[in-house]
């Protein structure tokens, strides 16, 4: 009798170990390893003393970061590699530290209750943290915590926004309002690509307080207005082009319909809405990153990721006529909906 040949177990083994790699990076960022090494190469004992941690345990973490491609160890002195200096150091203009800290403190424990989320179809906020307090209010109680998170979103935005605003020809529009625009990365990318465009960032007052420095750094303080407000409660500023980036996937269809209705009503004929989200394949078998993001939305929000057809249905129900989707190859894709 012929013995059956077992399939290669590597995909299973890799996923068994995958969370360990994530947590090693989370821990090193949280402890300040990369921030300290950005000051210059250093030896184990000095690093352990400065970080106030156990030297033997730190050595294991540092060597793991070497193997992960974040650090190098030359002559018993550790130093940051360029990828760590760019994305894992707080002071870097491209830092993802804020989002990593949020992933460590919020998403990592929330994902521990994924089974219950699947059973009940609801987020795990109260189960994980014992509170009904909104997610951002719970974690961002200090200005520094809020700024760290905004910095993390800014890092993602710098990767995603340029290809999003390049996905369609937006040159005919005169005024863009980025609804829930955070640090203004999309508004800045649009202004850089379209010299005649003027823009505004419309976000909560606590966010607007930390946005100004990013707009000034981008060189668009004279072209991008900062407007505090709540897009569910307050009137939207006037525009012929609105944008929503990583906003729609947070909410239930009921709330999305409310927001899209406000956007549609605020646009002139021929105006448009630019949506920046991860698009699922129509058969929902990929991309993997989008599917994982949709599970993340399950455990921490009331939203989910969607296909272009699903977004199109919501947009058409709001009254939009011409709808196009575009895969950017970046973390976020683009959808443009025009008011007929």
Catalytic residue ranges: 249
Q: What is the CA radius of gyration of the chain?
A: 22
Quote the tokens at residue 38.
């950005």
> Can you tell me the distance from the alpha carbon of 265 to that of 142, in angstroms, rounded to the nearest whole number?
36
Q: What are the residues whose beta carbons fall under 8 Å from the beta carbon of 219, sequence distance 6 or more?
A: none
> Can you tell me the distance from the alpha carbon of 87 to that of 85, in angstroms, rounded to the nearest whole number?
6
DSSP-derived secondary structure letter, 330: S
> Can you tell me the distance from the alpha carbon of 33 to that of 25, in angstroms, rounded to the nearest whole number?
10
Tokens 């424990």 label which residue?
Answer: 109
Nearest to 267, CA basis, from 310, 312, 320? 320
Where helices occur in 112-219 by DSSP H, the ranges are: 114-120, 125-129, 135-139, 143-165, 185-193, 205-218
């Amino acid at each position: 009798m012929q013995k059956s040949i077992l399939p290669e177990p590597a995909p299973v083994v890799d996923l068994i170990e995958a969370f360990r790699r994530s947590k090693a990076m989370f821990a090193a960022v949280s402890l300040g390893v990369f921030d300290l090494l950005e000051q210059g190469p250093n030896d184990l004992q000095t690093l352990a003393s400065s970080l106030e941690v156990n030297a033997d345990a730190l050595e294991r973490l540092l060597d793991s970061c070497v193997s992960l491609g974040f650090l190098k160890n030359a002559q018993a002195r550790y130093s940051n590699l360029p990828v760590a200096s760019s994305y894992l150091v707080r002071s870097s203009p491209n830092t993802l530290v804020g989002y990593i800290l949020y992933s460590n403190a919020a998403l990592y424990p929330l994902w521990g209750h994924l089974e219950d989320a699947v059973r009940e179809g609801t987020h795990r906020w109260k189960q994980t943290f014992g509170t009904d307090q909104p997610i951002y209010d719970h974690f961002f109680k200090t200005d520094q915590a809020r700024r760290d998170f905004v910095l993390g979103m800014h890092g993602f935005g710098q990767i995603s926004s340029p290809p999003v605003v390049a996905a369609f020809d937006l040159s005919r529009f005169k005024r863009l309002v980025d609804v829930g625009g955070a640090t203004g990365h999309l508004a800045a990318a649009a202004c850089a690509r379209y010299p005649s465009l003027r823009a505004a960032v419309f976000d909560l007052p606590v966010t607007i307080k930390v946005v100004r420095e990013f707009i000034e750094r981008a060189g668009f303080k004279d072209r991008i207005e900062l407007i505090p407000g709540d897009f569910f409660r307050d009137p939207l500023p006037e525009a012929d082009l609105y944008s929503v980036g990583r906003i729609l996937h947070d909410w239930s269809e009921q709330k999305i319909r409310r927001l899209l209705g406000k956007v549609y009503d605020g646009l002139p004929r021929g105006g448009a809405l630019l949506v920046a989200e991860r698009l699922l394949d129509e058969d929902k078998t990929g991309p993997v990153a989008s599917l994982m993001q949709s599970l993340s939305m399950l455990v921490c929000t009331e939203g989910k990721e969607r296909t272009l057809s699903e977004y199109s249905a919501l947009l058409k129900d709001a009254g939009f006529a011409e709808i196009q989707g575009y895969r950017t190859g970046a973390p976020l894709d683009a959808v443009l909906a025009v008011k007929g």
